[in-house]
A and B are shown apart, each in its own frame.
Chain A
Amino acid sequence: MKFRFPTIFALILGFASANAQSSKIEFVEYDLDNGLHVILHEDHSTPLVAVSIMYHVGSKNENPNRTGFAHFFEHLLFEGSENIKRGEYSSYVESAGGTLNANTSHDRTFYYEIMPSNQLELGIWLESERLLHAKVENVGIETQREVVKEERRQRVENQPYGTWMEETFKRAYKEHPYKWPVIGSMAHLDAAVEKDYVDFYKTFYVPNNAVLSIAGDIDIEETKKYIDKYFAGIPKGTKAIPRPTVVEPPLAGEQRATIEDNVQLPAILQSYRIPGQGTEDSYAVEMLATLLARGESSRLHRSLVDGKQLALQIGAFPFSLEDSGLAVAFALVNAGVKLEDAEKEMEAVYEKVRNELISEKEFQKLRNQIENDFISGNTTIAGRAESLANYHMYFGKADLINNEIDRYMAVTREDIKRVANKYFVPSNRVVLYYVPKKDNP
C-alpha cells in the first residue's frame, strides 16, 4: 500500500460496523452454587474451543486513588497461581497450540483462551486457577508496571489523536468514575501496596462476580463435569461488591477545549451524553449514528466529505457503557479547512435530522444496514463466547445474541427524530478541537 488514512479513525470506522448473528445460536446456561454463571454453546464446525471468563469489574469500580487497577490487574493475572509458576500460564496455552489474551473496559474484564478442542480441560483448569488462587510475585509487579507504562505511551501519548478518549471522558463526566481513563494514573500504580492487590482480588475475583462462557467443539455434559470439578469448590465471595451508584448530573452546558497534539490534520470530535446500553433510546441513538455516518451515502459523508469537501473522514458511533454512554461524531478535516466550518456543517446536518422526519426509504436503508451487521457478527466461536457473556452480564439475557435485532426493528422514524432532539444538542456535548502543535520557525 502506498498511502493510508490515519490509524485511529480508520480503526474506529472498521470496528463500528460489525456484529451479531442470524441463524439461531443454541446454548445452555446455569449457575453453580457459588454463584458462577455458566454459558455453554456447542458448535462442531471446527475442532476448536474458546474458554472465557468475564469479570464484572472495570475501571468504574476502582478506588479513585488507585485508578488503572482493573487493567493492571488484568496484566498481573497472567503471572501464575499456587500451581502455576511465573511464566507458565501463557506457555501452557501456547504449547498446547492455543492462544490467549484479555482486555479491560470501563465495565468489565475479559480473559480467554482459544484452544484445540482436546485441550478443553486445560483451559478450564487455567481459568479456575486464576480465580481460586492467583499468585503474583514482586518481580512480576515491577515488570508489568513498566509494561503498562509502555502500553500507555504506545497507544495514547505517541499516537496521533491518541488522547481523545481521556480528554473527552474527563469533560463528559465530573462525578461518575467514567471520568478517569481505563489505563489510569501511572502514579497510582506506583503507589500501590500489597494490601491493595489482595483487597481488589478478594472483592472482585469471586465466582459470584463472573460469567464462564465456553463455545465450540465441546460435549455439553462432559464440559459440565469439568466445570464442576474445577470451579464448584471455589468459595463464594464474602465481601460486598462495590458498584458506583452516583448518577452523573447533566452536563453544565457545552464543554469545549482545544487540544494541541502531534497531528498534521486538525480534527473535531463531539461527544453527546446518551443513556446506558440496552435502554430503548440507546437503540434509536445507534440508528441515528448509522444514519449520520454509515456508508458513503450517509448524511455526514455526503455533506462534509463528498459535497463540501471539508473533511477527509467522518464518523459517528455510540460509545455505549453500562451506566450511560457517549455518542461520538468526528470529522478529520482536509488541509486548509477551518474546524469551525466543519462544525457548522455538522450542525446543519443534525439540524435537519432534528427538524425533518427521515424518509421511508432512508429508514429502510438503516434497517437493512443494521440487519446486515447483526447477521455478519458473531461468526467465530470466540466472538460468540464473548457476546453471550456480555448479554448475560449487562442484561441478564444471553438470548439477546439471537434476538437483540428485534429491539432495533422496534425503533421508529419518529424515535430517531426524537433522540436527535433529545441528545444531539449543544448543551449535552463535549467538543474537542485537535490541532497541530505549534513549532517555532
Chain B
Amino acid sequence: MRNIIFALLAIFTFAQCSPKTSTTLSDKDYDAPEIAADASSTNPSDFRSKAPKAGPAPEIQIGTYEAFDLANGLKVILVENHKTPIVSFQLTLDNDPVMEKEFAGYSDMAGDMLTKGTKNRTKAQMDEEIDFIGGSLNSSGSGMFASSLTKHSDKLLGLMSDALLNPIFPQKEFEKMKKRTISGIQSAKDDPNTIAGQVGAVLRNGSSHPYGEIATEKTVESITLDKCKSYYNTYFKPNAAYLVIVGDMTLADAKTAANKFFGAWEKGDVPSHSYKKPTYPSETQVAFVDKPGAVQTVISVTYPVDITPGHPDAIKASLTNAILGGGGFSGRLMQNLREDKAFTYGARSSLRTDPLAGRFAAGASVRNEVTDSSVVEFLYEMNRMRNKKVAAEDLQKTKNIMTGSFARSLERPQTIARFALNTARYNLPKDYYANYLKNLNAVTITDVQAMARKYIRPSNAYVVVVGNKEEVADKLSGFAKSGKVDFYDNYGQPIKEATTEIAADLDAYKIVEKYVEAIGGKAKLKGVKDYIITMGVNAQGQDVLITQMGKLPNKYYMKAELPAMGIVAQEMIFDGTKGKMKGMQGNSDMDEKTIAGVKERINPFPEATYKEDGYKLELKGVENLYGKDAYKIEVISPSGKKSTEYYDVASGLKMRSMEKVEGPMGEQVSTTEYEDYRDVDGIKMPFVMSSKQGVLKMKEVEFNTNMSDDKFKVD
C-alpha cells in the first residue's frame, strides 16, 4: 500500500514533460539494427545510433460483453473480467437533462439523497454497512455506482437496491446536504479552473439550455425537498436506465442478481425534453473574470460545436483536434506554448461530442505577463489548422498516437463497458468501435483541413480569461471583435461597467441625503422613537428567528431563537449603560467593545444624521452592481470605524454595505446586500438582506409602539 504516497505526490505532482519536436519521424527512421544481441558485434556502439525497429504489430482486440433486459425494461450490460475478485455496478439514467432554473442543483441533490436514509436503514446504518464490507456506494442525479470484492457483492447489491428503491428523503439529512453543497460552492470560488469552466458553460449554452445552468448559493438555497422527491419519482425508472456490471461475475450470476435486486423496480413514463442546440457566437468575444491577486491566468478559448456521438465527422474531427492540442507532448499547442515559448506547464485542446451540445475548448494556465501573447499563440495555431494543410508525417504521427491511446484504454474492462453503453445510448452502429481504428487510419490530409474549417473557429469563440484584472485585462481588448473586454462574475453573469458620470457639484453627503429622501425623508426617520423587527434566516441548516427591538436614543434588545427546537440561542440586552449577553454557553456582562458596537446599531437610520453626528464621507466613484450603477462611498464613523456603502444612482436606495467585523478568523470583511425595499408606515425597508452567512428575510416591522423601558432591563 506504499503507493498511496506516490499517488499523493501526484498532486504536487512534479510530473514531466518533453521537448520541442524539431524533427518528425517517419517509418524509415525505424530502420534500425537487428534484434539479436550479436548484431552489434561489428562495432560495439553502432547499435545505439538508431532507434530499434518495431516487431510485428500485435492485434488489438476489443473485449466482449453481454447484454440482457429485465421485464421492467432495465437494460443490463455485463463485462466479465475475472483477473481480480472485484465487481462493480453502475446504474446510468438515460433521461434528457432537465432545466432547473432558479433551483439549479436539485437533480444532483435528489441523487445524493438516495443514500441518506431508506425505509430500512438510517444514513448511519447505511454508511456503517457499506464501510464494513470495504466497499463504496455513491449516488448522483444521473445514477449510482457501487463496488466491492466479489465475496461481498450480495450485501453490496442489497444496499444499492435499498437506496435506489426505498429512499425516504429525511428532512434533516436534506438540510445537512444543502449546507454542505453551499459550502462546496463557496470553496470552489477560488479555483480558477472551476470558474473558467462555469463561465464557459454559461456563455456557450446560454440560459435556456440545461448545460448553461450553474448551481449557486442562491439556487441551492431555494431547493426544496419536494423538488428532489419529484425528480426522483419522475426520472428514476428502470425503463430509462442501464445497469452496467464490470468484473468478476458470470452471466448466470449477473442475471440472477439483476432480477433479485432490481426486478421489483417499477417502470413508469419518463418525460422527454428537447432543447435548441447552442450555436457559436457570430464574432469572437473576450470574457474576463477578475481574480484579484492571481499569479497566473487561466485561458480557455471555447465555443459550442454540433457533433453528436457517432456523427460521421466525429473521428475525423477528433483527429484534427488531436493534431492541434491532443494529450501528450506532441500537440501543436504544447509544442508552441510550452516547449518553444515556455509560457505554461501545459496547453491542450479538446473537442467533445454530445447529443445535446458538443464543445471545443483550448486552454492553459500562463503567467500574468504573457497572457496576451498566449492568446495570440492559441489563435495562431487555430488559424494555422484552418489555413495550412497538415504534413503527411504529422497526420501519421497523430494517427499512431490515437491508435496507441485506444489500445491502452482497452486494458481496463470499464472501457469495454463504456463502449457497450455508448453503442446502446447513442444508437451507434454495432461495429462502431470495432471499426474505429480502420476509420481513424482512413482520414486524409484533405479531411483534416475540411474538419478544421468546420470545427476550429478562432473567429467565433469565447476567449474566457480568469486572472488578475489590474495586471492583464486591458491588454486583451484587441482579441474581441468589438474591441472591448466583457467582464463576468464567477457564474458567467455579465458585470457591466458603470456609465454614470459624476456631476461636478455632487458629493457623498448629497448622495446620502437623496437616500434618506428616498426611504421616507429626514423628518419621518427622525420621528422613529422605537421599533420591533423580526427576521428569519436559515443558518447551517437551521431556521433561526431573530427579533430586534430598539428604543432611541440608547436601549437595545436582540433575541435569536431556534423555533424548531424551542430554544433561545442568544439574547442581548442593553439598558443604555450596561448590557448582558445570554446564551447556551451561559451569561456574561457586555465588555466595552461590545457596548460600543451595540450603541452604533441602535439607531436604524444613522444615515439621516450622518452630517450632524460627525460621520466623515467620501465619494469613491461609481460601480455597476447587478446591472445598476451605484455610487461608492467610504464612511468613517465618529469612533473611527470604516465601511463602504453603495447607493443606487437611479433610485437612491442603498444596495450594499461592507464593513470590517471580528469573525472567527479575526478581522474580516462582511458584505451585506439590500434588496426588496417595501413600505412600512411611510418608510422603505429592505426586506431581504443577504450576506455570506445567510439570507435574512424580514417578517414583520413595527415603528413607534410606545415601548416601555422594562423590556431593556438588565438583571
Contacts and interface: CB of A to CB of B under 8 A. Distances in A.
B365 A374 contact: no
B503 interface: no
B408 A2 contact: no
Contact of B14 (A85, A103, A266, A369): A103
Interface stretch (B48-56, B278-286, B576-584): B48-56
Contact of A390 (B2, B338, B401, B692): B2
Contacts of B1: 19-20, 286, 370, 373-374, 377, 404, 408
B296 A154 contact: yes
Given A3-B185, A334-B179, 18 more contacts: A1-B108, A2-B104, A2-B214, A3-B108, A15-B8, A83-B50, A87-B20, A88-B19, A96-B404, A101-B15, A143-B20, A158-B294, A158-B365, A160-B187, A225-B36, A361-B132, A371-B149, A379-B84
Interface in B329-345: 329-330, 338-340, 342-345
A74 B14 contact: yes
A312 B184 contact: yes
B487 to A, nearest CB: 18
Contacts of A306: 123-124, 176
Contact of A182 (B12, B215, B344): B12
A373 B404 contact: no
Given A4-B188, A125-B51, A379-B83, A100 B8 contact: no
Interface stretch (B157-165, B348-356, B444-452, B657-665): B657-665
B670 to A, nearest CB: 9
Counting chain A CB atoms within 10 Å of each CB, which of B54, B85, B327 scores highest?
B54
Interface string A178-214: 0001110000000000000000000000000000000
Interface in B1-37: 1-25, 35-37
A339 B664 contact: yes
A57 B596 CA distance: 61
Contacts of B293: 262, 437
B99 to A, nearest CB: 12
A229 B40 contact: yes
Size category of the binding interface on chain A: 35 or more
B133 A368 contact: yes
A45 B416 CA distance: 14
B101 interface: no
B367 A263 contact: no
A2 B209 CA distance: 13
Counting chain B CB atoms within 10 Å of each CB, which of A158, A295, A305 scores highest?
A158
Contacts of A297: 124, 127-128, 130-132
Interface stretch (A247-255, A314-322, A347-355): A314-322
A317 B367 CA distance: 33
Chief secondary structure at chain B's binding surface: mixed
A121 to B, nearest CB: 4
Contacts of A410: none
Given A125-B51, A317-B8, A368-B132, A46 B3 contact: no
B292 interface: yes
A26 interface: no
B44 A233 contact: yes
A74 B411 CA distance: 27
A242 interface: no
Given A312-B180, A320-B5, A78 B403 contact: no
Nearest to B104: A2
Contact of B131 (A12, A22, A125, A365): A365
Contacts of A100: 16, 18
Interface in A122-159: 122, 124-126, 128-129, 132, 140, 142-147, 149-151, 153-159
A37 to B, nearest CB: 17
